[in-house]
Amino acid sequence: MSIPSEPKDTDNMHASREQLVDITSLKETLVHAVSPVPAVRAALAAASNVLDEQFKQGEDVRKLVAGRAIFMDQILSLLWSRFSWAETDDISLIAVGGYGRGELHPYSDIDLLILSKTEFSDQYRENISSFVTLLWDLRLDIGQSARTMDECITAAREDVTIATNLLETRTISGNEDLRQELHQHVYSDEIYTDRAYFLAKRDEQRQRHEKYGDTEYNLEPNLKASPGTLRDIQTIGWITKRHFGTSYVTELSSHQFLTDEELSTLRDGETFLWRMRYGLQMLAKRNENRLLFDHQRALARLLGYSNSDKKLAVEAMMKEYYRVVLALAELTDVILQYFDEAILRESEEIETTPLNKRFQIRGRYIEAINTGVFAYAPYALLEVFLLTAQNPQIKGFRASTIRAIRAHRHLINDEFRHNITNISLFMEILKTPHPLHQTLSYMKRYNILGRYLPEFGQVVGQMQHDLFHIYTVDAHTLRVIKNMIEFRHPESQERYPLATRLIKRLPKLELIYIAGLYHDIAKGRGGDHSDLGAADAEVFCKKHRLSERDTQLVAWLVKHHLLMSITAQKKDTQDPEVIHQFAREVPSHVHLDYLYVLTVADISATNPTLWNTWRSTLLRQLYLEAKRALRRGVDNPIDRNDWIEATKQEALQILLEQDFKKRDVMKLWKMLEDDYFLQDSTTEIAWQTAAIMTHGRSQEPLILIRDILGSGKNSHTQIMIYVRSRIDLFAATTAVLEQLNLNIVDARISSSFGPFSLSSFIILDENSQSLAQDPSRKERIRQRLFDELDDPEDYPSIISRRTPRQLKMFAFPTEVTFSNDTINQRTVMEVITPDRPGLLARVGLVLLKHNISLVNAKIATLGERVEDVFFITDDNGDPLSNAQVCQALQYDICKQLDENLKGELYL
């Protein structure tokens, strides 16, 4: 539904229409034209230019949208009149759907129905075909159908979408009586009963919301289809029209359906979204409803937003967008709950169950017995959510109760927040076993959570311009808590085996929930959000009467919530010193358990694509190694040489059991540097050693692929490459793997004193899964690597090939930083850049140019942002010590990676 202006506004719309083009002159031109296409195209372009210029000057978007529709009516009527139709008035050209409502955005669909009372004659069919072809020649985005009255009725019965399109119609040309007759059918029970139509549209809305993650806070929302946007407004309108037969929403107040304030919220919200959609389509020059990052900054400028000291223009625009859609979502709840009773339960006797003196359950909805309860007992503003948490049969809030909450939420002030009753109620909500994320979502939607926790209110609608978060801070936070809740469900065990086990032994679940609530709460303030969030969390805990021990645990979790993910993804976790340094940061086994659960919940809530089998393996390995280190005691770290010797002995025992000779094994191992025995597990060392020894003295490349199974379905695919050593081997190998559309998530290059190089790559497919279920693809990969790497003279051409994979680009300048690992005598180079095809091969090419040796690499792709860490040495095997070399390397990597991004950098 649109929310049409009052009829008196029609004069203004017509005034707008008269300023577009001279229709009379156009009509005269068409009389003498062989083809109407050139003249009509010119008229359409001229009208669009006028309307777009008026939009830039701040004209009322409602007039522009209506004016474009009226102008299109005139064009279509002129074109329709070029064809011969019988004078029996048995055919009409009718606008339906959004165009039928009198709305047309710059590139919106133009939905048409050609309606006939009886079967179409051959002449009519020929005319219709020519008419539609003409519209296509004009490059109009047409949606059209030609049906008889009976065919319309049948189609509407079979498809609720067609029935909905036919609720909103206008006659452009032809017999208006046909449309009126169709209108009578569509609004009768002959096609859909009131009840059936409501159920169909409610189910349709639920499915659409699920498609968009059931959140209003996607960072790239769809202005038409995301929760709280135009489709929700339209759904309310369709149900309203079918139920009341009302043409104008302004009439709904007479049905005591909407308050004046709610009507204003609905109308103002639609106007705001219309302006965004109109501007978006102007910029995109197509029928675009997705508010992609590519358009957000330009749209903010077009709509008049400007940068301030505290906020970018785009952040101000998106903050207002989220505020509007949250208000619309709240209002949708009220309206649909009203319809649930008015339509579905009109003749039912609704069961009422008292909860206490203030609240009752009425037809599975919680209801305030007296809507004035919040005035004389403000604590009920929290109590109502606690009762909802304690009674799982409640599926929502009565419309009258939502309105009462909205009318009294201003009572939540500092005095309210420090009241011991309210503090106890909020803590009870956190402690009650139930889907906590749902309760907190209700509290956020009705603006209770942000008022009770003002620090949370500050991040409602807070964008995160970091490429891998796909939700605002508040939406991400509630998804973290949702993940924690789901870790307790058996169905999560397969995807999160360790987290589901650990969460069951956490002493106090409310502590992990508080940490989840506060881990990102300080984003957007400036400064380190982990430190600032930890301070906020400590204040919360003390105010809510947590013990000193629990307070320190929560504050520590918030302060260090990134520690585990950074260590696992950016450091060599098979180096005992890295494990020791990590373990020193963790006070106890309990802290480690809490931190692991928080980390997994956080990663999975950031972006569904980020949690994959390899990240699961990395975090699990780090957790287990840290647990062993804590058991030993952080003051008793394992000696590096002892670790190497123990690794060799364990691997040797495996090989001896396979009938390999000790002297042959030791001879091979002498060719490998000590770092090799720090990097890999003993079973992996034994596997690689056995393969090389079996390969013998062959000069051909040795390529082996295997799947490494973790717990549950967590697995990944490993490729081992033993080939004659060349400095450009890494660049060539990564180029081949990327050309095969494989994601490299880890790379290890083991230095050798001999002529051969041993490399190991962990790969996943384009869906971040192992290749375990695709043996034929693994064989194709093995053969391709063999064919490409057997002749080193081919490496330069391999590296220079284009990678076919296409990725959406959200550009920003590449960052390259260096630090030295004095313990392992190597330089750590971190590269942060947008993901793009062939990235690792390009980095390898730069390393080759500077004669830099790659020892190890940790590959981390976060959404479309890459944060890769390379462990490198100079050609003598020493860390880089010359600042000029580092500067030249930094310059060349940035130049190589950013050369294709000129003009696209998202600064």
Residue-level pLDDT at 755: 79
Q: Which residues contact 253 (CB under 8 A, 6 or more apart)?
A: 259, 260, 263
Question: CA-CA distance, 193 to 180, in Å (whole number)?
Answer: 19
Question: CA-CA distance, 690 to 694, in Å (whole number)?
Answer: 6
Question: CA-CA distance, 97 to 142, in Å (whole number)?
Answer: 12
| Region class of 902: left (phi > 0), else alpha (psi between -120 and 50), else beta | beta
Closest to 436 in 3D by CA, of 467, 470, 477? 477
**Low pLDDT (below 50) residues in the chain:** 1-17, 254, 712, 803-809, 903-907
Q: What is the pTM of this model?
A: 0.75
What's the DSSP call for residue 168?
Answer: S
- pLDDT averaged over the chain? 86
- Structure-token pair, residue 736: 């081949």
Residue-level pLDDT at 80: 93
DSSP result, 221-267: -BTTTSTTSHHHHHHHHHHHHHHH--S-GGGGGGGT-S-HHHHHHHH
- Structure-token pair, residue 418: 């420090």
Question: CA-CA distance, 304 to 28, in Å (whole number)?
Answer: 41
- Structure-token pair, residue 883: 């600042």
Crossing angle (nearest 10°) for helices 839-849 and 729-739: 170
DSSP H helices, 633-745, are 640-657, 662-669, 676-679, 682-695, 729-739
H or E element, residue 818: strand 815-821
Residue-level pLDDT at 211: 83
Half-sphere exposure (CA, 13 Å, Cβ side) for 402?
24
Residue-level pLDDT at 57: 94
Residue-level pLDDT at 113: 96
CA distances from 79 to 26, 98, 112, 427, 687 (A): 11, 21, 14, 68, 76
Q: Tell me how long the chain is.
A: 907
What's the DSSP call for residue 826?
Answer: E
Question: CA-CA distance, 869 to 627, in Å (whole number)?
Answer: 25
Question: CA-CA distance, 865 to 610, in Å (whole number)?
Answer: 11
Residue-level pLDDT at 745: 80
Residue-level pLDDT at 906: 38
- Structure-token pair, residue 877: 């095997």
Residue 346 burial (C-beta neighbours within 10 Å; 0-12, 13-18, 19+): exposed
Residue-level pLDDT at 17: 46
Say if CB 568 and CB 618 are below 8 A apart. yes
Residue-level pLDDT at 845: 84
CA distances from 358 to 381, 541, 677 (A): 11, 29, 68
Crossing angle (nearest 10°) for helices 313-339 and 260-284: 130
Closest to 743 in 3D by CA, of 838, 855, 857? 838
DSSP result, 395-458: -EE-HHHHHHHHHHGGG-SHHHHT-HHHHHHHHHHHHSSS-HHHHHHHHHHTTSHHHHSHHHHH
Instruction: Label the pairing between strands 365-368 and 396-397.
Output: parallel
Give the three-state DSSP class for 465.
Answer: coil
Instruction: Label the pairing between strands 756-764 and 743-750.
Output: antiparallel
Give the three-state DSSP class for 345.
Answer: coil
Question: CA-CA distance, 720 to 700, in Å (whole number)?
Answer: 14
Residue-level pLDDT at 16: 47
CA distances from 513 to 485, 557, 801, 875 (A): 9, 11, 49, 50
Q: Which residues contact 602 (CB under 8 A, 6 or more apart)?
A: 480, 516, 519, 561, 565
- Structure-token pair, residue 524: 């957007």
Tell me the pLDDT tens digit for each residue of 325-337: 988 988 888 888 8
